[in-house]
C-alpha cells in the first residue's frame, strides 16, 4: 500500500472469481465457500466475474454464498466474458438482489473509516466496453482495481492503482505439478500473469486468482479452487 496514503486500520479483503455456477461446478463447492467466508469474515468482498457457465439462471446457486455473510464494507462485483455471453442484464440484476454493488466502468468509495479507498471496477476487457477513464473518475486516494482478467491492464493508459485483483485464468485449471498450465488462458496478459502476485511496472501490485469453479470440464488438477484473503495496511 502507498505509504503516502496510509489506512486507518488493517483492511481485510476477500476476493473470489470465476465461480462458474452450472453443470461443470459441483454445488457442494459453494457450501465450502460459504463456510469459509463465515469463518474468515473479510471486511469487504470483491467478486471477479464469470458467475455462471452456459445459462444465466445458474447465478441463483450463488445466493446462499453471497447472503450468508454480509461484509461490513460491502460486496463489489465486476462482470466477466461468460456473464456477457449468457445474459449480463439478468446476472447483474441477480447480483444486486444478493447485495452486491455491480461496477461497470465506475468506482465506489468504501464506507468510513475507509472512505479514502475506492473500488474501481472495469468492464470485461475483451467482450465488454472497458473504459478506464470512467472507471477511475473522481476516485479516492487509495485505489483497488477490480478487473475480470489481467488484460484489464491493457486499458489503463495513465491510470494508477494501489492493488489490482483479477481472475479469468483459472491458473490453467489443469496444470503441471509446478503450476504451469497445460492450456494457456486467453489474452496476452492472462498468459503473462497466469496466477499469483505480481508487481506491475509503473503501477501497483496485481493479485491473479485461480478462481473457484470450472468451465468446459468439471475438473481441476494442480489448480485448486481459491478464495483469496489479504490484509492491506
Mean pLDDT of 126-153: 97
- Nearest by Cα to 51 from 167, 188, 193: 167
Buried b (16+ CB within 10 A) or exposed e, 78-103: bbbbbbbebbbeebbebbeebebebb
Query: 89-93, 115-119, 168-172, 211-215 — which is least confidently predicted?
Result: 168-172
- Nearest by Cα to 186 from 127, 109, 99, 106: 127
pLDDT band of residue 56 (cuts 50, 70, 90) is very high
pLDDT in tens, 111-130: 999 999 999 999 999 999 99
Place of cell 496444470: 175
- Secondary structure letter of residue 198 according to DSSP: E
pLDDT in tens, 187-227: 889 889 999 999 999 999 999 999 999 988 888 888 799 99
CA 152 to CA 194: how far, in whole Å?
13
Mean pLDDT of 17-32: 95
User: What percent of the chain clears pLDDT 90, i.e. is strictly above it?
Assistant: 82
Mean pLDDT of 46-53: 97
Going across the sheet that includes 142-147, the strands are 106-109, 117-121, 142-147, 163-166, 205-208, 196-199
Please say if the pLDDT value at position 3 is more than 80.
Answer: no
Looking at residue 39, what is its pLDDT?
Answer: 96
Sequence-distant (≥ 6) Cβ neighbours of residue 178 within 8 angstroms? none
Mean pLDDT (the chain, rounded) = 93
Please say if the pLDDT value at position 16 is more than 70.
Answer: yes
Please say if the pLDDT value at position 1 is more than 80.
Answer: no
Looking at residue 216, what is its pLDDT?
Answer: 85
Mean pLDDT of 61-89: 95
pLDDT band of residue 4 (cuts 50, 70, 90) is low
Sequence-distant (≥ 6) Cβ neighbours of residue 204 within 8 angstroms? 2, 145, 160, 161, 162, 163, 164
Looking at residue 167, what is its pLDDT?
Answer: 96
SS3 content of the chain, % helix, strand, coil (to 5): 25, 25, 50
Amino acid at each position: 500500500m502507498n505509504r503516502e496514503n496510509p489506512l486507518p486500520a488493517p483492511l481485510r479483503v476477500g476476493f473470489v472469481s470465476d465461480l462458474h455456477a452450472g453443470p461443470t461446478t459441483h454445488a457442494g463447492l459453494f457450501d465450502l465457500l460459504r463456510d469459509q467466508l463465515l469463518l474468515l469474515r473479510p471486511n469487504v468482498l470483491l467478486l471477479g466475474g464469470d458467475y455462471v457457465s452456459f445459462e444465466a439462471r445458474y447465478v441463483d446457486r450463488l445466493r446462499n454464498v453471497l447472503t450468508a455473510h454480509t461484509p461490513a464494507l460491502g460486496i463489489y462485483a465486476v462482470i466477466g466474458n461468460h456473464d456477457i455471453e449468457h445474459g449480463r442484464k439478468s446476472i447483474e440484476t441477480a447480483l444486486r438482489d444478493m447485495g452486491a454493488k455491480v461496477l461497470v466502468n465506475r468506482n465506489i468509495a468504501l464506507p468510513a473509516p475507509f472512505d479514502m479507498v475506492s473500488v474501481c471496477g472495469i468492464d470485461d476487457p475483451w467482450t465488454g466496453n472497458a473504459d478506464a477513464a470512467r472507471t477511475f473518475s473522481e476516485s479516492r486516494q487509495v485505489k483497488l482495481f477490480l478487473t475480470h482478467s489481467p488484460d484489464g491492464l491493457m486499458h489503463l493508459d495513465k491510470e494508477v492503482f494501489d492493488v489490482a485483483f483479477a481472475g479469468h485464468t483459472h491458473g490453467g485449471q489443469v496444470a503441471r505439478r509446478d503450476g504451469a498450465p497445460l492450456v494457456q488462458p486467453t489474452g496476452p496478459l492472462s498468459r503473462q500473469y497466469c496466477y499469483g502476485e505480481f508487481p506491475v511496472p509503473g503501477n501497483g501490485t496485481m493479485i491473479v486468482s485461480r478462481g473457484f469453479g470450472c468451465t468446459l470440464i468439471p475438473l481441476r488438477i494442480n489448480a485448486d479452487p481459491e478464495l483469496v484473503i489479504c490484509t492491506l495496511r
